[in-house]
Amino acid sequence: MLKLKKKREMGFCLLVTFLVLSVTGCSGGRNSQRGISENAYKKYMERQMALAADEQTLKENPAMTPQELERMGDFYVRQGNLPMAFLKYDKALRLDRSQPNIHYKLGRLFLEKGMIEEAQNEFMEVLKINPGHAQAFEGMGGAFFKSGDLERAEANLRRAIELEDTLWQAHHLLGIIYDRRQNYEAAIHQYKKAISFKPDMAMLFNNLGMCLLFKGNYGEALDSFLQALKLEAWNHRIYNNLGLTLCKLGRYEEALDVFKKSGDEAAAYNNLGYVFMMEGKNKEAIEAFEKALEIKPGFYTKAYENLKRAKTAHSPSP
pLDDT tens by residue, 4-63: 444 444 445 556 544 433 232 232 333 333 334 556 566 556 555 555 544 544 455 567
pLDDT-derived band at 299 (thresholds 50, 70, 90) equals low
The secondary element (H helix, E strand) that includes residue 20 is strand 20-21
Q: What is the mean pLDDT of residues 215-234?
A: 97
Q: Architecture of domain 186-258 in CATH?
A: Alpha Horseshoe (1.25)
Q: What is the mean pLDDT of residues 79-107?
A: 93
> Which fold, 264-317?
1.25.40
pLDDT tens by residue, 107-135: 999 999 899 999 999 999 999 999 999 99
CA-only gyration radius of the chain, Å? 24
Q: Which amino acid makes up residue 284?
A: E
CA geometry: angle 54, 57, 59, nearest 5 deg: 130
Q: Are the C-beta atoms of residues 107 and 122 closer than 8 Å to each other? A: yes
pLDDT given at position 34: 37
HSE, CB side, 13 Å, CA atoms: give it for residue 3: 3
pLDDT given at position 169: 97
pLDDT tens by residue, 262-295: 888 998 999 999 999 999 999 999 999 899 889 9
Residues of the chain with CATH 1.25.40.10: 186-258, 264-317
pLDDT tens by residue, 138-191: 999 999 999 999 999 999 999 999 999 999 999 999 999 999 999 999 999 999
